[in-house]
Amino acid sequence: MKQLFTAIFLAVFALCAPASGYAQEKAKTEAKAKQESKAKQDEKGASAAKSADKGADKQASDEVIDINTATAAQLMTLDGIGEARAAAIIKGRPYRGKNDLVDKKIVPGAVYEKIKEKMIARQAPAKK
């Protein structure tokens, strides 16, 4: 009886063991395929986001920025303007002309020469 039980146990084990190994292998393969698919989707999304960012940057660089009303983020799209200079520009408002940035020593002359065509200093409308 003990031998019969052992034989049945070994037979069942032999039948189940390869199946479970196959199932585990199949599960690993499916998981890897899902990961690769997700990675490809993430790459496509990142690529689309980069394209959109480039388009936004190009559009922002083509626009003339009013230094009297622009946000810090808008000012930082100008070449040579970082957080510190953007904050200094905002703090020094209002400007009568864009050359005030150099006159008030907020922006160096070399930086001003690169960005002067991309900015303007509009005046606030006169109060009645």
* Alpha carbons 81 and 112: distance in angstroms, whole number: 10
CA 74 to chain centre: 16
Q: Token pair of 6, please? A: 């052992």
The pTM score is 0.52
**Tens-digit pLDDT profile for residues 33-82:** 777 777 677 676 666 555 555 555 544 556 899 999 999 999 999 999 99
Q: Token pair of 12, please? A: 């069942």
Domains and CATH numbers, the chain: 65-120 (1.10.150)
How far CA 89 is from CA of 8, 60, 116, in Å, comes to: 86, 18, 14
CA 10 to chain centre: 58
